[in-house]
Amino acid sequence: MSARLEFALAHPAPSGDNASMSASPAISSAESMRAEKRAAAGNSVLAAVVITALKTVVGFTTGSLGILSEAAHSGLDLIAALLTYFSVRVSDKPADADHQYGHGKIENFSAFVETGLLLITCVWIVYEAVLRLFFRRIEIDPTIPAFAVMLFSMAVDWWRSRVLGRIARKYDSQALEADALHFSTDIWSAGVVVLGLLLVLAGRAYRVDWLSDSDPIAALLVAAAVVSVSWRLARRTVDALLDAAPPGVRSQIQDVVSRVDGILEVDRIRIRRAGNRYFADLTVGLARRVTFQRSGQVAAAVTDAVHRILPNADVTVQPLPRAQRSENIFDRIRAVATQRNLNVHDISVQDLAGRLHVEQHIELDERMTLKQAHDQVTELEAGLQRDVPEISSILTHIESEPATIERSEELVSDAVLVQRLKAAAAHFPEILDVHEFVIKRVRGRLYISCHCTLSDDLSLARVHDIQTELEIRFKQDAPELFRVLIHPEPSTDNRR
């Protein structure tokens, strides 16, 4: 079973005065957002109270079903505005232990409730309109106050739909957007009612009886407009409550993430919305020999890529190790070791009469006992033969991985020893120069290091062979040496 790694990317907070300076703009911006949203929602509530009261009074005094339907519509708008006001106040609360994704869903729920209220309004309007058209005739008395109230309502709805729309777009608030959509539609529905009242007046003036039905017909048109708005709003709110991904966004994220260096595949993308905040959860495939640190770097790059599509999204990236088709047997050996958090090097693979034999070095904590180290190596070798069945035999050289800082007792100056080692290096025609000898005594043993200049175009395999042979030659000519470290340099670099 593949191991699964999940990264939560966090940035440390700055300290001191810098922390205050960096935090203040963010806090100020958040407070400004909350204040603007609440002010817009509060003003909408006040406007809805005034408009609903005026329409109700004029509707009953005139007997106009169109105006009464508008009053009912405005009454439900008032309830919706109250819901929006309270949902905006709650949605801006930060995440807590019981609501890890924040409180943004309350805006989506508020919009859903508004949709239900609008549909109830439509049912009542249609019922009353059918009664007045076919079963119960009511005389309409269009008055100047009726026209004044409707025109005043249209002006107020135009003003608050613009204000709410601007704040909704600025902060991506679905609840405020729903209110803005309501009130922009109210302008047209109120206009239809005014037209119906004008037609009633025209019917009386010109004695055209069928024009007296203009008022209930206007009410039906209002209902149709409300149904249209409700349907669009219902689809959006239900999508938000059911965590539907925004149209086209998933494919855009798939495209940008797949181009991130190191990504082999994009296994899963999940997007959900809560209020004005998006949450993106991605699972991506990386080469299984990639280090843990490199996985973190790739996860950060994926997060940046997602932010190009959803700028303020909360992104979680889960990398999964994947085997590549281009892996050779050395890659597969290292991958098995890496899976067990072990470091192997100096891997050698020999073909012995059609059977593969592997020799490798492994570094283990120097504080382990031989039994503990041997058990770990045995488990690794068994895993290698299980995952790489071509291998018939394995020999592992166990090295101690330092866990303590060694203290150098002294730096040794020995010109004779240096000359002896330079003479030994002269036997290698590829070696152009040896220099910067450093001799130290550590725990009573001699350590020596030097720099070795070689031709630029030598292969790395040949360089390693020369280093190994030179180390052996140094120890042959100076048996007192305990450890030899040779640093190779290209000739062009050494000429600087």
- What does the block give as tokens for 27? 């806090």
Q: Is the pLDDT assigned to residue 350 strictly greater than 70? A: yes
Q: Which amino acid is at 459?
A: S
Residue 434 confidence (pLDDT): 93
Q: How many whole angstroms separate alpha carbon 165 and alpha carbon 37?
A: 11
Residues of the chain with CATH 3.30.70.1350: 249-322, 329-401, 410-493
Q: How far is C-alpha 209 from the geometric centre of its chain's CA atoms? A: 64
Decide yes or no: CATH 1.20.1510.10 for domain 28-242. yes
Residue 360 confidence (pLDDT): 92
Element (H, E) at 313: none
At 104-125, the pLDDT tens digits run 566 666 667 767 767 776 777 7
Q: Is the pLDDT assigned to residue 431 strictly greater than 90? A: yes
At 311-342, the pLDDT tens digits run 878 898 999 888 877 788 888 888 888 888 88
Element (H, E) at 394: strand 391-401
- Among 3.50.50.60, 3.30.70.1350, 1.10.3660.10, 2.40.10.120, name the CATH number for the domain at 410-493: 3.30.70.1350
Average pLDDT taken over every residue of the chain: 76
- Report which of 333, 329, 340 is spatially closest to residue 396, judged by C-alpha positions: 333
Residue 304 confidence (pLDDT): 92
Q: Is the pLDDT assigned to residue 91 strictly greater than 80? A: no
The model's pTM is 0.50
Q: How many whole angstroms separate alpha carbon 309 and alpha carbon 300?
A: 15
Scanning the structure block, which residue is given the tokens 């006992």? Answer: 369
Domain 329-401: which topology?
Alpha-Beta Plaits (3.30.70)
- What does the block give as tokens for 41? 């929602």
More confident residue, 182 or 259: 259
Q: CB-hemisphere CA count at 13 Å for 288?
A: 23
Neighbours of 341 (CB within 10 A): 7
For residue 449, list its beta bridge partners: 438, 485
Q: How many whole angstroms separate alpha carbon 291 and alpha carbon 456?
A: 29
Residue 207 confidence (pLDDT): 66
- Among 2.60.40.10, 3.40.50.720, 2.60.40.1840, 3.30.70.1350, name the CATH number for the domain at 249-322: 3.30.70.1350
Residue 153 confidence (pLDDT): 76
Q: Does residue 343 sit in helix, strand or coil?
A: strand
The answer for 340, left when phi > 0, alpha when psi is -120 to 50, beta otherwise, is: alpha
Please enumerate in sequence order all residues whose Cβ is within 8 A of that of 483, keeping only pairs 6 or more positions apart, or say none.
Answer: 445, 446, 447, 448
Residues of the chain with CATH 1.20.1510.10: 28-242
Q: How many whole angstroms separate alpha carbon 83 and alpha carbon 63?
A: 30
Residue 442 confidence (pLDDT): 85
Mean pLDDT in residue range 299-304: 92
Element (H, E) at 448: strand 445-454
Q: Is the pLDDT assigned to residue 5 strictly greater than 50? A: no
Mean pLDDT in residue range 170-186: 65
Mean pLDDT in residue range 364-372: 86
At 387-417, the pLDDT tens digits run 888 899 998 988 887 766 667 667 888 899 9
Mean pLDDT in residue range 283-300: 87
Q: How many whole angstroms separate alpha carbon 42 and alpha carbon 108?
A: 18
